[in-house]
Amino acid sequence: MIEGEGIPLALVAHEQGEYVGSVLLIEDDLDDRPQYTPWIAALWVEPEMRRNGIAAKLMDAARKEASARGHAFCYLCATPDNSPYYLARGFKQIESEVSGLNLFSISC
């Protein structure tokens, strides 16, 4: 259940009553990029639960919440090693090597 109307918010995935992952939707993740908002951040899935689509479901839920709050796009930053994961899921790289991170956007 999600309470409240604003951002930030946390989405948590459970399976059989156990925590399996979470993601945040936050206003900004980089102070020098205020034009990008909101951000999908702190995506985490427990190691033993990875490769089951949980991360994709969490990101989809974050995008839906952003859309419900009037946003057309979501943003995230990732290390170059993790960038292919986001590209394969429809994110578009919009900047590279910003403090060692790549920046991505996706429609909500």
The CATH number of the domain holding residue 76 is 3.40.630.30
> Which residues span the domain enclosing 58?
9-107
The answer to whether residue 4 sits within a structural domain is: no
Which residue type, as a one-letter code, is found at position 28?
Answer: D
Quick check: is 2 in a domain?
Answer: no
37: in domain: yes
Question: pTM for the full model?
Answer: 0.91
94, 77 contact by CB (below 8 A)? no
Domain count for the chain, please give it.
1
pLDDT in tens, 11-65: 999 999 999 999 999 999 999 999 999 999 999 999 999 999 999 999 999 999 9
Side-chain half-sphere CA neighbours of 13 within 13 A: 22
Name residue 2's amino acid: I
Q: pLDDT band at residue 5, thresholds of 50, 70 and 90?
A: low
